[in-house]
Amino acid sequence: MSGLAAMPSPVRSRAAAVALAAALTACVSTGAVAASRPLQSSWRTYVHGYVQSDGRVIDHSADMITTSEGQAYALVRAWWSNDRDTFERVRVWTMNNLQAGDPSTLPAWKWGARADGSWGVQDANAASDADLWIAWALLGAAEDWDRPDYRLQALSMSTRIWDEETTDVAGQRTLLPGPWAKGKAPVPFNPSYVMPFIFRSLAVADPAHDWSALVASSYAQLDAVMTRYPLPPDWCWFDAATGALTDPPAGEEAKLGFAYDAMRLPWILSADLAWSDSPDARRLLSHFDALLDRFHRDGVLPATFALDGTTPAWESRGLYGALLPYMATKNPSDVPKAVARIDDLRDDGRVRRAQGREYYAENWAWFGQALLAGVARPVESP
């Protein structure tokens, strides 16, 4: 898409990443992040509550299932927390149970109790967001801990992701939500699966595939989506022939709302801004100014926004977490209030719809604070 800036050189050293994060944090009163739960302590609590001793991450709010997404988030957090033991347990469980023992296979997205009473894969389809997070965490851990076996697994997954979960749509390389979407018309697209900071890492580690082109095309597609809709939707669709946004298939209209998938985007864009100084990320983040303005005015945000503007009565601490880094640069005085909302929603002990899938909310609240604190970081260059 014309008008998009050329892809800048990524910021790869940990020192530079921490310096950029410090610049974000400088916008915030020192007590705002300090008053939140220490990230290492929060990670240990998460492991105790959600990760079995064998490395399976359990979604207690959804029939005790395990998802590739949950495994992926645990790998990323274990890497950032320098928790090698938990990382390896989660990796091995994922390989043995979601990848059929083959570390290069894209993992099944859903595992749990089956109709016959056994436990195992419930849905063998892969989800590209989880696959990207897993490959990226493996790359990061490989560099930090000198584990060439992790790097080999990451690169084998990278090839499978490129071959099975990307495609050409009207001349633009496009991330599909999973292999199941190959050949679909219209082409399903989940904006929050697009993670340019991961594509940049893969462009360095896996030069056999044009991941840099995926950065540029993904930003062009995000630009089209965020120009058309007041807030980015969880799902949208591109015409397979022209590449233009098109109406959703019948029955899918509700997916055009801004909800638990799309709420990840401000964090994703903030990470690419912090680590690669992306002008495209900076420009697209401005689409979330209305959310920041509403929080500044009301002190709360509804968890979701339907396309017609309808909102629920409950909040989401995951959304607050995803907004924290951008909030720190725009309305820094509001960060302590958002952290307080996160803590209140976590600690009040009540079961409320605000929490949604509990492990999911917990991860995104943590990710937001980790990016502010400089704990979240990009992959080091080999």
Neighbouring residues of 51: CB distance < 8 A, sequence distance ≥ 6: 57, 58, 74, 86, 89, 90
φ, ψ at 3 (rounded to 5°):
95, -15
List the alpha helices (DSSP H) in 258-379: 265-276, 279-285, 289-298, 317-330, 335-347, 358-373
Torsion angle of the four alpha carbons 289, 232, 215, 26, in this order, in degrees rounded to the nearest 10: 30
Reply yes or no on whether 69 is catalytic.
yes
Residue 56 per-residue DSSP state: -
Return the number of other C-beta atoms located less than 10 Å from residue 30's C-beta.
Answer: 9
Write down the catalytic residue from 69, 165, 334, 358: 69
Burial class of 250 by CB neighbour count within 10 A (0 to 12, 13 to 18, 19+): exposed
Token pair, residue 80, equals 């950032």
Write down the catalytic residue from 63, 83, 85, 129: 129
Distances (CA, A) of 163 to 3, 95, 133, 214, 233: 29, 20, 17, 13, 26
For Cα atoms 248, 237, 211, give the angle at the middle one, nearest 5 degrees: 165
Residue 126 · residue 179 · CB < 8 Å: yes
Reply yes or no on whether 234 is catalytic.
no
Q: Where are the beta strands (DSSP E) in 190-287?
A: 236-238, 245-246
Residue 153 · residue 104 · CB < 8 Å: yes
User: What distance lies between CA 288 and its chain's CA centroid?
Assistant: 17
Return the number of other C-beta atoms located less than 10 Å from residue 192's C-beta.
Answer: 22
Helix (H, G, I), strand (E, B) or coil at 245: strand
The Cα 269–Cα 1 span in angstroms is 18
Active-site amino acid positions: 69, 129
